[in-house]
């Protein structure tokens, strides 16, 4: 399904962020780095608020009728970590994070000219995702 409006993209990010927060909580229950992974889940929920606030500050009903995006939602589908071991689950989460970083990067680029505040929020989250991927890689290798 193609997404064209800011509302659609914000809804997609909200859905994915909440799903990923649950994945982090489940992986934390495997016993290693539980506090760090629960912290990531809390961050995901804050990302939802960050994007929603940027969106609410700039959007109007008249403008929402326009088409600012061209994103294929199916390209960013995620699946729960299937790994039973901590290491496998972390590998799955790295894949999810890479996909989310790409989504935020693409959305930021597409929003840049019409929705600069939303674009900045997307870019900031994409950068945070890059740092998180590095942290997860460290956990995977330890």
Q: What is the CA radius of gyration of the chain?
A: 16
Strand partners, 32: none
Name the residue with tokens 């790409």: 102
Contact in structure between 125 and 47 (CB atoms under 8 Å)? yes
Distance, CA of 93 to CA of 21 (rounded, Å)? 11
CATH H-level, domain 2-141: superfamily: Ferritin, core subunit, four-helix bundle (1.20.1260.10)
Return all residues near 94 (Cβ < 8 A) that are at least 6 apart: 133, 136, 137, 140
pLDDT, tens digit only, all 142 positions of the chain: 888 888 899 999 999 999 999 999 999 888 789 999 999 999 999 999 999 998 888 776 545 545 678 889 989 988 877 767 888 889 999 999 999 999 999 999 998 888 888 899 999 999 999 999 999 999 988 8
């Amino acid at each position: 399904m193609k997404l064209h409006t800011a509302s659609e993209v914000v809804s997609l990010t909200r859905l994915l962020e909440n799903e990923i927060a649950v994945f982090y909580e489940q992986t934390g229950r495997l016993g290693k780095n539980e506090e760090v992974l629960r912290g990531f889940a809390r961050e995901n929920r804050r990302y939802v608020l960050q994007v929603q606030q940027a969106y609410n500050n700039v959007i109007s009903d008249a403008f929402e009728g326009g088409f600012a995006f061209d994103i294929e939602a199916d390209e960013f589908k995620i699946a729960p970590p299937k790994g039973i071991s901590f290491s496998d689950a972390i590998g799955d989460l790295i894949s999810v994070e890479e996909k989310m970083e790409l989504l935020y990067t693409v959305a930021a680029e597409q929003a840049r000219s019409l929705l600069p505040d939303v674009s900045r929020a997307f870019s900031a989250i994409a950068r945070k995702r890059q740092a998180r991927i590095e942290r997860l890689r460290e956990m995977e290798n330890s």
